[in-house]
């Protein structure tokens, strides 16, 4: 049995200080009915708790740690930057350097604005879309997560595609009424919404590869249809690539699927583990942002030199030209991720457990589900009890997975073939435990 004595004591104290003992809900392990390990340090592909347990980490701080933890180059760059002062609230060279590097990989982003979180990026992109189009409604997809700003914390109302209802107390009905929530991967649903009220829609915002209901891929032609419909009705198409940016492929989902959105939101990876996100896109739209235009958006710590440094060094590592005859960084991650997932599928089959395994570049995940998973309804019909058993069996064996079936797992450049082998071996026990449930 894993010894989590110190973590349990730390959690008990934390609960007297912070709601649920955490600063972001999913960390509490409420969904798997146990106590979270408290983390003391991390290095490469491994994360270590304060009880002295080490794990192979597939959470990667929920996505950002694409080069692994405490990468020597990132650490060195940060140390040097810290010695030059941690914040000035004034323009710096490094902001332009990071902007240029991002825009090289994401040519649809002709102008970019740095912010501090994915929430801020999507919220600002929507304000911009509204300011630019002079329209008020937005369309989002059920099961896509875009951070916790009010207009995005909205559920579908009754009926298949209706004006939203707040999904959290504190979100006003007025705000929710301007958000239309539609099922993901359902062309007929979005077509009917756009037919009915397309002329009022400022923007359609989508996770082009959805990672917040578990990993769900877009159906063939779906993103292209969104592009056509938004163009037809004069609405902007916003790709929220906060998670899938630099993951689904180096150039994100927009490169992988060959679709050019009007605006893009990035986050997670572009801060290399520090709080950075960004939104950007067509020049004529971005020119509406203050101080060039009238749409207001600002940030005391936006473009912070430490955060820019961690992001820039991380992106430099993953965009470097590969050695002669080697695959580039993101291709290598894709190949290793595929190997891991194939190994899991084989072990599941051997144990007689049916899973749906999904991959997009270095993002991956499984559903304990008999049938294909294409949207939120499918995902939520997965076997939650099986997931709990699997999760704990893996944790016991030193494999650190997200404590929910509705999250995505990530591979980093620090994960070795040996890590992958160990993780596949552990999966044999994990699936066996699932198969033995209730016996
Ligand atoms: C994580 C995430 C966000 C929110 O980012 P925060 O930095 O947590 O505010 C928004 N959109 C997507 C797709 C995400 O995965």
For residue range 10-49, list pLDDT tens digits in order.
Answer: 999 999 999 999 999 999 999 898 999 999 999 999 999 9
pLDDT digits (tens, 9 = 90+) for 220-247: 999 999 999 999 999 999 999 999 999 9
pLDDT higher than threshold 70 for residue 85: yes
CA–centroid distance, residue 63 to ligand 1 (Å): 10
Check: CB of residue 100 under 8 Å from CB of residue 165: no
CA–centroid distance, residue 438 to ligand 1 (Å): 37
Q: What is the DSSP string of 15-39?
A: HTTSGGGSSSGGGG-GGGTSPPPPE
Q: Which residues line ligand 1 (CB under 6 A)?
A: 117-119, 122, 145-147, 207, 211-212, 240, 242-243, 267, 277
3-state SS, residue 125: helix
Q: Which pLDDT belongs to residue 150? A: 92
Q: What percent of the chain has pLDDT over 70?
A: 98
Q: Which pLDDT belongs to residue 31? A: 87
Q: What is the band of 159 on the pLDDT scale with cuts at 50, 70, 90? A: low
pLDDT higher than threshold 60 for residue 355: yes
Q: Indicate if 240 belongs to the active site.
A: yes
Structure tokens at 151: 């207009």
Place of tokens 């605006």: 263
Q: Which pLDDT belongs to residue 429? A: 98
pLDDT higher than threshold 90 for residue 334: yes
pLDDT higher than threshold 70 for residue 157: no
Q: Which pLDDT belongs to residue 162? A: 60
Q: What percent of the chain has pLDDT over 90?
A: 91
* 377 vs 189: CA distance, rounded Å: 14
* 433 vs 39: CA distance, rounded Å: 26
Q: What is the band of 263 on the pLDDT scale with cuts at 50, 70, 90? A: very high
Q: What is the band of 92 on the pLDDT scale with cuts at 50, 70, 90? A: very high
Q: Which pLDDT belongs to residue 436? A: 96
Average pLDDT over residues 67-75: 98
Average pLDDT over residues 334-339: 98
pLDDT higher than threshold 70 for residue 408: yes
pLDDT digits (tens, 9 = 90+) for 370-388: 999 999 999 999 999 999 9
pLDDT higher than threshold 60 for residue 158: no
Identify the sign of the CA torsion 413, 417, 418, 423. positive
Considering only the C-alpha atoms of the chain, give the largest distance between any 2 of them, rounded to a whole number of Å: 66
Q: What is the band of 79 on the pLDDT scale with cuts at 50, 70, 90? A: very high
Place of tokens 């923007």: 203
Q: How far separated are the first and last CA of the chain, in Å rounded?
A: 21
Ligand 1 pocket test: pick from 147, 215, 269, 271 the residue with the most ligand atoms within 8 Å of its Cβ: 147
pLDDT higher than threshold 80 for residue 163: no
Catalytic residue among 49, 178, 186, 240: 240
Please report the atom of ligand 1 found closest to the CA of residue 120.
9
Measured by CA distance, the residue closest to atom 5 of ligand 1 is 118
Q: Indicate if 46 belongs to the active site.
A: no
| Domains with residue ranges and CATH for the chain | 5-70+327-435 (3.90.1150.10), 72-319 (3.40.640.10)
pLDDT higher than threshold 90 for residue 155: no
pLDDT digits (tens, 9 = 90+) for 269-282: 999 999 999 999 99
Mean model confidence pLDDT for the chain: 96
């Amino acid at each position: 049995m894993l010894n989590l004595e110190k973590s349990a004591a730390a959690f008990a104290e934390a609960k007297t200080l912070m709601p649920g003992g955490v600063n972001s809900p999913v960390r509490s392990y409420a969904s798997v009915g146990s106590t979270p390990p408290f983390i003391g340090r991390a290095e490469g592909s491994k994360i270590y708790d304060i009880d002295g347990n080490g794990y192979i980490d597939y959470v990667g701080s929920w996505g950002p740690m694409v080069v692994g933890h405490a990468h020597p180059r990132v650490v060195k760059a940060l140390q040097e930057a810290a010695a030059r002062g941690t914040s000035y609230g004034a323009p710096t060279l490094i902001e332009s350097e990071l902007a240029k590097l991002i825009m090289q990989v994401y040519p649809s982003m002709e102008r970019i604005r740095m912010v501090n979180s994915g929430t801020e990026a999507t919220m600002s992109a929507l304000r911009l879309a509204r300011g630019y189009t002079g329209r008020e409604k937005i369309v989002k997809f059920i099961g896509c997560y875009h951070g916790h700003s009010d207009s995005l914390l909205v559920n579908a109302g009754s009926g298949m595609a209706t004006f939203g209802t707040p999904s959290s107390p504190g979100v006003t009905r007025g705000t929710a009424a301007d958000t239309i929530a539609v099922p993901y991967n359902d062309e007929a649903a979005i077509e009917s919404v756009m037919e009915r009220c397309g002329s009022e829609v400022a923007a359609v915002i989508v996770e082009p590869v959805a990672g917040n209901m578990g990993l769900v891929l877009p159906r063939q032609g779906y993103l292209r249809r969104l592009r056509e419909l938004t163009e037809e009705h004069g609405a902007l198409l916003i790709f929220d690539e906060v998670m899938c940016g630099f993951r689904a492929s180096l150039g994100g989902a927009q490169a992988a699927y060959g679709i050019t959105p009007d605006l893009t939101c990035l986050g997670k990876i572009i801060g290399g583990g520090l709080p950075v996100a960004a939104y950007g896109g067509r020049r004529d739209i971005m020119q509406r942002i203050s101080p060039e235009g009238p749409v207001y958006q600002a940030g005391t710590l936006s473009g912070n030199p430490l955060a820019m440094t961690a992001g820039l060094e991380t992106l430099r590592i993953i965009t470097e030209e590969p050695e002669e005859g080697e695959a580039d960084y993101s291709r290598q991650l894709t190949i290793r991720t595929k190997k891991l997932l194939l190994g899991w599928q084989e072990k599941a089959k051997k144990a007689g457990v049916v899973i749906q395994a999904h991959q997009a570049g270095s993002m991956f995940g499984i559903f304990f589900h008999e049938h294909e998973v294409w949207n939120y309804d499918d995902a939520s019909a997965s076997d939650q009890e099986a997931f709990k058993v699997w999760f704990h069996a893996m944790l016991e064996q030193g494999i650190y997975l997200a404590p929910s079936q509705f999250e995505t797992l990530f591979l980093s450049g620090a994960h070795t073939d040996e890590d992958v082998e160990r993780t596949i071996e552990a999966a044999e026990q994990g699936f066996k435990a699932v198969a033995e449930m209730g016996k």
